[in-house]
Amino acid sequence: MTKRSDPTIPRDASAISSLDLSKRDLTLDLARVFCVLLVVVIHLLFIGVGRDADGDLVISRPLEEQPWFAGATWAGQIMPLFFVVGGFASITAWRSTVRRGGTAADYVKTRVLRLAQPSLPLFLFYVVVIGGATLLAIAPELVATVVEGAGSPLWFIAAYCLCQALVPVMVRLHARAAGPTLAVLLLGVVAVDAARYGSGVTQLGYLNMVFVWLLVQQIGFWYADGWFARRAWWQLVVIAAVGYAALVPLTTVGPYDTDMLTNLNPPTLPLVLLGLAQACVLCLMRPTLARLMATHAARAVVFLVGTRLMTIYLWHLPVIIVVAGLGLLIPGASPEPASPVWWWSRILVYLLVLGILFALSLVVGRFEQPREIGPTPPVGVVALATALTFVPPFLVIEYFLDLWLAVAGAACFSVAILLLGRWPQRAKSAESKVAG
């Protein structure tokens, strides 16, 4: 039963009149799937593998070399939207946990397992591959370059783990002081950016993994409470237009890069503006997306991809790299990067990559669902497991992936999973003793 005293559940039913929290909003599932599939497209176009005049292997970035690339990132940088959608899902899941009588530790345990379990086989894969390449002394510089690129998406694990761990706290703040909470987070974003660009110390910007992504997640909370749905269509258009327009002075006069992918790590203020604008666009498109999701075909695709999202996200770059490497061994299968034939061939390569990822998901996809054994451990243990899940991908952001980080990551994720999934049932035994 719902606890009336819980401040995280709004008392005003009109605040969420357009939402039925007992059912899944399929338009948000569609948005989440779209975000991940677009990430695969972008990374596929980022990687060009060919040979120079001397026959040496050359890795290029064809997409980034295009004159229109920076402008395209204003639409193509959709990770803020993913965190907005994640915020909606998180506040809904947290309220459901509260209604079932669950605790913050229960919620964080499940969410951290959803990140640690799929990450473990990937890090074990990197241990084997990097370790084997090191033992065989295979072109160390080339291997290092490839591995650094392959590890780049892992920032998401650290950022999302941090956001999920703080959901119980942030939802309570949202319920008690929604506006002031946004204001404080925004001030934090601006202060960190000012310190970073004022001092020239890039590492200071990583403090915004807290402020930027929590702020964007809070926008998702507002979306879940129907704030965007209660705005007139023209108001949403104005808010989105102002958000995008504000990027112009920030990137021309201000210190920020016009390339929104560059503004990703460390995260910066432009990502907040993108998140707000993208939330408005998503709300404007909701009726159209809802009609699309009423079709069996769309539901089938979203279900098929949606149940494998972590596998697709974590494994798509290794698969792209392997496909690119194998293409060099097949005559005519590896056209010159950035050539017209290369651009057209990306369609077939994209379908091939998705097919391989689907086959791979049959093996590693089972790690996407938490396998919880026993009751939730004490808060301190959950906090330790969360830290063990956060640290490895965060270190990859700062130092890039290598053999030792792969080993450390595999060890940390293993311990985190054991701590969260195999806690002894002391609680029940204690209760039985009291009863006796």
Task: Tell me the per-residue pLDDT of 2-58, one tens digit each, with 9 for 90 and over.
Answer: 344 444 444 443 333 333 433 578 999 999 999 999 999 999 999 988 877 777 778
Does any domain span residue 22? no
Does any domain span residue 388? no
How far apart, in whole angstroms, are the C-alpha atoms of residue 396 and residue 402?
A: 8
Pure H helices in 200-337: 208-224, 233-252, 269-293, 296-306, 309-327
Does any domain span residue 14? no
Does any domain span residue 227? yes
* Average per-residue pLDDT for the chain: 89
What is the value of pTM for the model shown?
A: 0.89
Q: Do residues 106 and 382 touch, judged by C-beta distance below 8 A?
A: no
Going by C-alpha positions, the residue among 423, 412, 400 that lies closest to residue 116 is 412
Given this model, what pLDDT does residue 372 score?
Answer: 65
In one letter, which amino acid is 93?
A
| Residue 48: strand pairing partners | 60
Going by C-alpha positions, the residue among 302, 305, 303, 300 that lies closest to residue 361 is 305
Number of domains in the chain: 1
Does any domain span residue 35? yes
Place of tokens 């997409």: 63
φ, ψ (nearest 5 deg) of residue 48: -120, 125
Going by C-alpha positions, the residue among 118, 115, 122, 68 that lies closest to residue 90 is 115
Structure tokens belonging to residue 101: 């009588």
Does any domain span residue 394? no
Does any domain span residue 290? yes
Q: Which residues of the chain have pLDDT under 70?
A: 1-23, 372, 422-436
How many C-beta atoms lie closer than 10 Å to residue 17's C-beta? 11
Label residue 20 exposed, middle or buried (CB < 10 Å: 0-12, 13-18, 19+): exposed
Given this model, what pLDDT does residue 423 score?
Answer: 59
Does any domain span residue 224? yes
Range of the domain at 72: 28-108+139-362
How far apart, in whole angstroms, are the C-alpha atoms of residue 294 and residue 208?
A: 39
Given this model, what pLDDT does residue 422 score?
Answer: 64
